[in-house]
Structure 1
Amino acid sequence: MKDRIDQLGPLELRCLSLAARGRTRLDIMRETDIPMERIDQALEEAMRKLKANNLAEAIIRAARLDLIS
């Protein structure tokens, strides 16, 4: 799994980090001016790379791997 984790991009990590702090996708869009479609893609890609079934699982895995704080 380490090789996929290394491939998480900056936007994926940023979206995961904001989601971990309780921000919704709409909050993330408002705070970053990134289109909702791109946020959705980033979170979906992060879930795929972390082999997570949902956003909560992706956040937990990223936090345990010290990718987000």
Structure 2
Amino acid sequence: MPDKIDELAPLEVRCLALAAHGRTRQDMVRETDISMERIDRALEEAMRKLRAKNLAEAIFRAARLELIS
């Protein structure tokens, strides 16, 4: 992975953190009152920025970069 990645937006970080703690997308909608479409876009954009093939890889990379704990 290259040293430089695009900066993640606050919603992208929040959604990744929630996913890392076992929340499903539906849980995220209930907990944040944010639409499923916005959550889906945030997670997809986070995966793109982190150059991850799936959500698990994005969570792993975000944790390694200390973006989430």
TM band (smaller chain)? over 0.9
Query: Percent identity among equivalent residues?
Result: 75
Task: Give the CA deviation at 1:3.
Answer: 3.8
Could you say which structure has the higher helix fraction?
Answer: 1
Tell me the alpha carbon deviations over residues 5-58 of structure 1, each in whole angstroms, 9 at most, x when there is no partner: xx2000000000000000000000000000000000000000000000000000
Q: TM-score, normalised by structure 2?
A: 0.94
Q: Give the count of matched residue pairs.
A: 67
Divergent runs of 4+, >2 A: none
Which ranges in structure 1 are unaligned for 5 or more consecutive residues? Answer: none
CA RMSD of aligned residues (A): 0.8
What aligned pairs does 1:50-65 form with structure 2 within 5 A after superposition? Answer: 50-65=50-65
In structure 2, stretches of 5+ residues that fail to align are none
